[in-house]
Structure 1
Amino acid sequence: MNMNKIFDIRPSTRQLDWQRLEFYGFIHFGMNAMTGREWGEGHEDPALFDPQHLDAAEWVTILKQAGMKAVILTCKHHDGFCLWPSKYTKHSVASSPWRDGQGDLVREVSEACQKFGLKFGVYLSPWDRTERSYGEGQAYDDFYVNQLTELLTQYGEIGCVWLDGANGEGPSGKRQNYDWDRYYETVRRLQPQCVISVCGPDIRWVGNEAGHTRREEWSVVPRALQDAEKTAEKSQQTDDPSFARSVHSMEEDLGSREAIVRYGGEWVWYPAEVNTSIRPGWFYHAEEDRQVRSARELFNIYLKAVGGNAMFLLNVPPDRDGRIATPDREALAELGARIAELNDLRLIHGTKWTASSAASEKETAEVLGGGAPDRGWRPSGTDTEPWVQMVLPETRAFNAVILQEHIVQGQRVEAFELWVSVENGNERDDETKNSDEWRRIGEGTIVGHKKILPLPLTTARRVRIVFKRYRGYPTLAAFQLALWSE
Structure 2
Amino acid sequence: MNMNEIFNIRPSTRQLHWQRLEFYGFIHFGMNTMTGREWGEGHEDPALFDPQHLDAARWVAVLKQAGMKAVILTCKHHDGFCLWPSRYTKHSVASSPWRDGQGDLVREVSEACREAGLKFGVYLSPWDRTEASYGEGSAYDDFYVNQLTELLTQYGEISCVWLDGANGEGASGKRQQYDWDRYYEIIRRLQPQCVISVCGPDIRWVGNEAGHTRREEWSVVPRALQDAEKTAEKSQQTDDPTFARSINSMEEDLGSREAIARYGGEWVWYPAEVNTSIRRGWFYHAEEDGQVRSARELFDIYLKAVGGNAMLLLNVPPNRDGRIAAPDCEALAGLGVRIAELNDPWRIRGAVWTASSAASEKETAEVLGGGDLDRGWKPTETDAEPWVQIALPEGRTFNAVILQEPIVQGQRVEAFELWVSEEDGDELDLEETGNLDEWRWIGEGTMIGHKKIVTLPLTTARRVKVIFKRYRGYPTLANFRLSLLSD
Sort the TM-score into its range (normalised by shorter chain): over 0.9
**SS at 1:265's partner residue?**
coil
Q: CA contact under 8 A between 1:347 and 1:369: conserved in structure 2?
A: no
1:107 equivalenced with 2:107 (yes/no): yes
1:483 aligns with 484
1:158 aligns with 158
Q: CA contact under 8 A between 1:354 and 1:428: conserved in structure 2?
A: no
TM alignment of 1:317-328, pairs within 5 A: 317-328=317-328
1: distance between equivalents of 2:293 and 2:430?
48
- Cα deviation code 1:41-72 (max 9, x no counterpart): 00000000000000000000000000000000
- Give the drift of 1:249: 4.6
2:178 aligns with 178
2:393 aligns with 393
Q: CA contact under 8 A between 1:279 and 1:288: conserved in structure 2?
A: yes
- Give the drift of 1:484: 1.9
* Sequence identity percentage: 86
1:371 equivalenced with 2:368 (yes/no): no
> What's the TM-score once normalised by structure 1's chain length?
0.98
TM alignment of 1:303-318, pairs within 5 A: 303-318=303-318
- Give the drift of 1:235: 2.6
**SS at 1:113's partner residue?**
helix
1: distance between equivalents of 2:6 and 2:303?
27
2: distance between equivalents of 1:444 and 1:253?
15
Q: CA contact under 8 A between 2:348 and 2:482: conserved in structure 1?
A: no
- Give the drift of 1:241: 1.1
**SS at 2:130's partner residue?**
coil
Instruction: Check 1:428–1:162 CA distance in 2 against 1; reply closer, same or farther (3 A cut).
Output: farther
Amino acid in structure 2 at the alignment position of 1:82: C
Instruction: Check 1:440–1:249 CA distance in 2 against 1; reply closer, same or farther (3 A cut).
Output: closer
Higher mean C-alpha deviation, range 384-393 or range 199-208:
384-393
**SS at 1:241's partner residue?**
coil
- Cα deviation code 1:168-197 (max 9, x no counterpart): 122222211111001001010000000000
Task: Please list every run of 5 or more consecutive structure 2 residues that lacks an aligned counterpart in the other structure.
Answer: none
2:291 aligns with 291
Q: CA contact under 8 A between 1:25 and 1:316: conserved in structure 2?
A: yes
1: distance between equivalents of 2:433 and 2:450?
30
Amino acid in structure 2 at the alignment position of 1:474: P
TM alignment of 1:51-200, pairs within 5 A: 51-200=51-200
- Give the drift of 1:233: 3.0
1:436 equivalenced with 2:437 (yes/no): yes
2: distance between equivalents of 1:433 and 1:338?
37
Task: Please list every run of 5 or more consecutive structure 1 residues that lacks an aligned counterpart in the other structure.
Answer: none
1:459 aligns with 460
> What's the TM-score once normalised by structure 2's chain length?
0.98
- Cα deviation code 1:113-150 (max 9, x no counterpart): 00000000000000000000000110000000000000
**SS at 1:60's partner residue?**
helix
- CA RMSD of superposed structures (Å): 1.3
1: distance between equivalents of 2:275 and 2:211?
6
- Give the drift of 1:229: 5.2
Amino acid in structure 1 at the alignment position of 2:335: L
- Cα deviation code 1:373-406 (max 9, x no counterpart): 2211111111121111111111111111000001
- Cα deviation code 1:242-295 (max 9, x no counterpart): 110000150000000100111111110000000000000000000111110011
TM alignment of 1:203-282, pairs within 5 A: 203-227=203-227, 230=230, 232-282=232-282
Q: CA contact under 8 A between 1:203 and 1:270: conserved in structure 2?
A: yes
Instruction: Check 1:480–1:249 CA distance in 2 against 1; reply closer, same or farther (3 A cut).
Output: closer
1: distance between equivalents of 2:95 and 2:156?
24
Instruction: Check 1:447–1:82 CA distance in 2 against 1; reply closer, same or farther (3 A cut).
Output: same
2: distance between equivalents of 1:28 and 1:389?
44
**SS at 2:207's partner residue?**
coil
- Cα deviation code 1:60-108 (max 9, x no counterpart): 0000000000000000000000000000000000000000000000000
**SS at 2:43's partner residue?**
coil
Higher mean C-alpha deviation, range 360-369 or range 410-419:
360-369
- Give the drift of 1:364: 1.3
Amino acid in structure 2 at the alignment position of 1:466: I
Higher mean C-alpha deviation, range 139-148 or range 417-426:
417-426
Amino acid in structure 1 at the alignment position of 2:59: W
2: distance between equivalents of 1:229 and 1:385?
44
**SS at 2:72's partner residue?**
strand
2: distance between equivalents of 1:231 and 1:21?
23
- Give the drift of 1:354: 1.4
Higher mean C-alpha deviation, range 98-107 or range 406-415:
406-415
**SS at 2:132's partner residue?**
coil
2: distance between equivalents of 1:55 and 1:370?
39
**SS at 1:369's partner residue?**
helix
- Give the drift of 1:431: 3.7
Instruction: Check 1:170–1:231 CA distance in 2 against 1; reply closer, same or farther (3 A cut).
Output: farther
Amino acid in structure 2 at the alignment position of 1:481: L
